[in-house]
Every structure is written in C-alpha cells, then in structure tokens.
Amino acid sequence: MFIELAKGLNERGAGVRAYDACARAARARMAGEPENAAALLLISYAAQLFVDAYDDQPLSVAAAGEEFEQFSKIVTTLEDAYGSGSAEAKVDALNRVAAMLVSARRG
C-alpha cells in the first residue's frame, strides 16, 4: 500500500530528486485513494521535508542513511496500521507519525 513509496525511493538512490518524486507520487495518489489521503499527505510531507532540508545542500552518506531509516519507519508505521484495517490503529498511526514529524522538525 505505502511501502512501495519507500521502495521506489530506495531504488532511485534516496537522494533529493528521489524524495521529490516520492512526495509528488504520494500527492498524486490522494485523489484516487481518499480513504488513504491523510496517510499519503503525511508521507508526502515527510518526503518534502527532506527535499527542503537538502536541496542544494551537501548530503553525507551517513545523513542519507539516517533520513531513509526515519522515512522508512514512518511508512512502515502507516503500512502496518492500514493493513490491520482497524480505524483505531489508523488514527493511532497517523498521530504517531505526525508527532515524529514535529519532533524531527525541532531536532
């Protein structure tokens, strides 16, 4: 469901252009998947944060790895919750991911 966005990111080298493509892909899916729109919006936002932080900036291999690990955690959290089908699990995952993103912005 969402994990293919992270896989595509990894296949494209997990650089700025790959995150940009991921953000665009997640936004494009929202219209056709209204039941997943909130999760796709958070994924798009997470990818766009990477683009905003590293566009025209140097990116070390270590930083790229850490960023990809965090992004993968976000996608996996949403994938697991949406896979369960439980509305409570979905809302909990959305809240946890939103908190992760706010925390990452402060860090």
The 10s digit of each residue's pLDDT in 37-78 is 999 999 999 999 999 999 998 888 898 999 999 999 999 999
Q: Are 42 and 96 in contact (CB under 8 A)?
A: no
- Every domain of the chain and the residues it spans: 3-106
Say what the pTM is: 0.93
| CA angle 18–48–93, rounded 5-degree value | 105
Q: What's the pLDDT band for 27 if we cut at 50, 70, 90?
A: very high
pLDDT at 59: 86
In Å, what is the CA distance from 42 to each residue of 52, 60, 61, 72, 88? Answer: 15, 25, 25, 13, 17
